[in-house]
Amino acid sequence: MSNITFTMIKPDAVANGHTGNVINDFIVGGFKLKAMKYLHLSKEQAEAFYGIHRERPFFNDLVSFMISGPIVAAVLEKENAVADFRTLIGATNPADAAEGTIRAKYAKSIDANAVHGSDSNENAAGEASFFFSSFEMY
Ligand code: UDP
Ligand code: MG
């Protein structure tokens, strides 16, 4: 059964000119675009999105990084979308990411790691609806 995941192309990948290549990797990887927008998060939005990480030591740096420039937010559809997308992007730390993965190719560090990917179907649905209304998903 087809399901969805949510992704962001993070400020580092956008600023470094990787947006087009990353979107191409999504599509070549078998993901269908259901929704996409280009936006610059506010501090309040970034804090809300990453609320589950509020107690973690990197929270403030993560929020500062995510508001440092514009991002691309997208909802992607595929069979087994959440797990397959995490395989496509690779490990959180690009130094540990498998060769050919998006983070291995485009990320420089564990904080500026090029892309976000949902970690469960439940979080994918919540993250998608954080950014998109049902009228904006196709
Ligand atoms: N992060 C960080 N330092 C860490 C762990 C995570 O800066 O030690 C950042 C990184 O940008 C990561 C995000 O926080 O993508 C969310 O962390 P998570 O553990 O959920 O990793 P992900 O699901 O993105 O692989
Ligand atoms: Mg995560």
pLDDT > 70: what percent of the chain?
99
Which CATH number covers residue 69? 3.30.70.141
What are the backbone angles phi and psi of residue 67, rounded to the nearest 5°?
A: -105, 10
Is 116 a known active-site residue?
yes
For residue 96, the CA-to-ligand 2 centroid distance in Å is 15
The confidence band for 2, taking pLDDT boundaries of 50, 70 and 90, is confident
Atom of ligand 1 nearest to the CA of 111: 7
Instruction: Identify any residues that bridge with 9 across adjacent strands, giving them in sequence order.
Output: 72, 115
What is the count of structural domains for the chain?
1
Structural contact between residues 73 and 37, judged by C-beta atoms closer than 8 angstroms: yes
Mean pLDDT across the chain? 98
Domain span at residue 130? 4-136
Q: How far apart are CA 111 and CA 99, in angstroms?
A: 19
Ligand closest in space to the Cα of 68:
1
Q: Would you state the pLDDT for residue 129?
A: 98
